Copies of this chain bind each other. A is one copy, B any other.
Amino acid sequence: MTFDLTFIGHIETPFQSLGDCPNNVQADGPRCDIVLGSRFAQGLLGLETGQTILVLYWLEGVDRNLLIQHRGGRSDSIPRGVFALRSPHRPNPIAAARVQIEAITDGRVKVRGMDCLNGTRLLDIKPDTK
Contact, CB under 8 Å: A127 / B85: yes
Instruction: Report the bound CA distance from A2 to B6 in whole Å.
Output: 8
Count the copies. Answer: 2
Number of interface residues of A (CB under 8 A): 46
Instruction: Report the bound CA distance from A48 to B83 in whole Å.
Output: 11
Flag whether A21 is at the interface (Cβ < 8 A): no
Q: Which residue of B7, B43, B82 is within 8 Å of A83 (Cβ)?
A: B43
Provide the residues of chain B in CB contact with A3, threshold 8 Å: 2-5, 58
Instruction: Report the bound CA distance from A86 to B46 in whole Å.
Output: 12
Flag whether A129 is at the interface (Cβ < 8 A): yes
Q: Which residue of B1, B68, B123 is within 8 Å of A7 (Cβ)?
A: B1
Contact, CB under 8 Å: B47 / A81: yes
Chain A at the B interface: mostly helix, strand, loop or mixed? Answer: mixed
Flag whether A80 is at the interface (Cβ < 8 A): yes
Provide the residues of chain B in CB contact with A43, threshold 8 Å: 67-68, 81-84, 91
Chain B, Cβ-Cβ closest to A67 = B43
Chain B, Cβ-Cβ closest to A69 = B43
A-B pairs with beta carbons under 8 Å apart, 24 shown: A1-B5, A1-B7, A2-B2, A3-B4, A5-B5, A8-B91, A25-B129, A36-B83, A40-B83, A40-B91, A42-B81, A43-B68, A43-B81, A43-B83, A43-B84, A44-B83, A45-B68, A46-B81, A47-B83, A56-B56, A83-B125, A85-B127, A94-B124, A96-B96
